[in-house]
């Protein structure tokens, strides 16, 4: 049961963190682009996306931290290591490509 719980927690963390990151990136790009007219709907969508996904990420991440503090098996789990090191290389290429 621990592996299923661990998988759920880290998948929810990855999905919600990516949603927050891309919503903030889109919002900042729309607001800071010179000469670009941004629609109210687009701005509202990005704000809503980030404000909904951020609490979901925080709940699951704090849950994962609490489990890791309590159980030594959780701290050494392979899935935890994959979560801690995996999303950065996976989300880097789109960010790098946007700035080239």
pLDDT digits (tens, 9 = 90+) for 49-61: 999 999 999 999 9
Q: What is the pLDDT of residue 10?
A: 86
Question: CA of 16: how far to CAs of 13, 36, 98, in Å?
Answer: 5, 28, 21
Q: State residue 46's pLDDT score.
A: 92
The pLDDT of residue 71 is above 70: yes
- Count CB neighbours of 42 within 10 A: 13
- pLDDT on residue 96: 65
pLDDT at residue 78 in the model: 80
pLDDT at residue 42 tops 90: no
Angle of CA points 95, 91, 7, to nearest 5°: 165
User: 32 near 65, Cβ under 8 Å?
Assistant: no
37 — pLDDT class (breaks 50, 70, 90): confident
Q: What angle do CA 95, 59, 45 make, to 5 degrees?
A: 50
- Neighbouring residues of 44: CB distance < 8 A, sequence distance ≥ 6: none
Q: What is the per-residue pLDDT for 86?
A: 76
Prediction pTM value: 0.78
**Residue 31 pLDDT greater than 70, yes or no:** yes
């Amino acid at each position: 049961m621990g592996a299923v719980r661990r998988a759920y927690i880290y998948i929810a963390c990855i999905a919600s963190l990516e949603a927050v990151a891309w919503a903030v990136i889109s919002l900042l790009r729309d607001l800071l682009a010179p000469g670009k007219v941004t629609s109210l709907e687009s701005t509202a969508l990005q704000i809503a996306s980030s404000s909904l996904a951020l609490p979901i990420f925080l709940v699951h991440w704090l849950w994962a931290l609490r489990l890791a503090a309590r159980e030594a098996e959780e701290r050494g789990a392979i899935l935890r290591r994959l979560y801690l090191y995996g999303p950065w290389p996976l989300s880097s290429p789109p960010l790098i490509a946007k700035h080239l």
